[in-house]
């Protein structure tokens, strides 16, 4: 399919649906944590999703070349992927879905700072710096606002979610700034899923915490995650990125933390304080500003 110059009806529908799915995913992970320990859940999810991607590649007869010189970069990418989800899944054991979403989706700010030093065409303008300042202020309010649902344990969960955002940003910068940018989508995803599966399952076995209390409901939720989020969901997202302009997609990313807050309130009856809502609003405004790109001037 040819590249689009703007977001059309199909693109908007896919972006809205996928953003809400990612928001719901935080709730699903917290639910599955009751049956599988966080590290084991993350590793098992990656392993199952990798199997589905391999089947997809075979059916589509896609040619992947793991001897193209990107194996080292792919291993690093997969290690960062495993670190991201280890921190994220453990964070959901300690704090609420809403708070995890607030800190985890600060990822674009870390990408913007990294891109300022790595990519010459992505410097931080005054407007974008203003967005960064708003975001930092919002994160500060979020970190020091109380969480009546989790108490003191919440701060650890908040910091873990923030660390997961940094790992996610490193993955984005590594993928964009190295030879991984030219690798087929399926190959890059297999790097992430395969390496993270090995690392997370090994860590889970070393710590001795794997299975908690598995029920048919938890197995069903886990299967939904594998199929619709970790495998074909990520492929769909990468396809959307390859078709539609990234700058026009920025505003849709706001739907993910907002939907996560909504689903956390619906499923877990999470309490939302005024301080937290202010922090969420500041981070959302900062995200809009940080994604601001000056329009190119027309030649005279």
> 84-88, 150-154, 225-229, 232-236 — which is least confidently predicted?
150-154
CA distance 193 to 78: 7
155 φ, ψ (degrees, to nearest 5): -60, -40
In tens, the pLDDT along 10-35 reads: 888 988 898 899 899 999 999 999 99
Residue range 63-90: mean pLDDT, rounded: 96
3-state percent helix, strand, coil for the chain, nearest multiple of 5: 75, 0, 25
CA distance 139 to 142: 5
Domains of the chain, by residue range, sit at 9-107+148-258
Q: Model pTM? A: 0.89
In tens, the pLDDT along 210-233 reads: 999 999 999 999 999 999 998 888
- CB of 94 closer than 8 Å to CB of 154: yes
């Amino acid at each position: 399919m040819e590249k689009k110059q703007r977001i059309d009806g199909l693109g908007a529908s896919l972006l809205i649906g996928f953003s809400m799915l990612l928001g719901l995913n935080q709730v699903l992970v917290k639910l599955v944590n009751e049956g599988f320990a966080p590290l084991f859940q993350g590793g098992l999810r990656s392993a199952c999703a990798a199997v589905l991607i391999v089947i997809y590649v075979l059916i589509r007869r896609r040619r992947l070349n793991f001897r193209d010189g990107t194996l080292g970069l792919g291993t690093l990418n997969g290690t960062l992927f495993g670190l991201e989800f280890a921190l994220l899944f453990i964070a959901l054991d300690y704090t609420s879905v809403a708070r995890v979403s607030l800190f985890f989706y600060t990822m674009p700010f870390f990408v913007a700072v990294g891109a300022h030093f790595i990519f010459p065409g992505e410097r931080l303008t005054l407007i974008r710096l203003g967005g960064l300042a708003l975001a930092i202020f919002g994160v500060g309010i979020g970190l020091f606002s109380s969480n009546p649902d989790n108490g003191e344990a919440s701060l650890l969960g908040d910091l873990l979610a923030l660390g997961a955002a940094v790992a996610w940003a490193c993955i984005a910068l590594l993928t964009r700034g190295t030879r991984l940018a030219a690798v087929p989508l399926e190959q890059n995803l297999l790097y992430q899923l395969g390496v993270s599966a090995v690392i997370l399952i090994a860590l889970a076995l070393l710590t001795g915490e794997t299975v908690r209390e598995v029920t048919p409901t938890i197995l069903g939720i886990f299967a939904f995650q594998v199929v619709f989020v970790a495998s074909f969901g990520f492929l769909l997202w990468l396809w959307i990125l390859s078709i539609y302009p990234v700058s026009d997609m920025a505003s849709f990313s706001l739907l993910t933390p907002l939907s996560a807050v909504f689903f956390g309130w619906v499923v877990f009856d999470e309490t939302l304080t005024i301080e937290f809502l202010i922090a969420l609003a500041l981070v959302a405004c900062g995200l809009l500003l940080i994604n601001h790109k000056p329009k190119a001037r027309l030649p005279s």
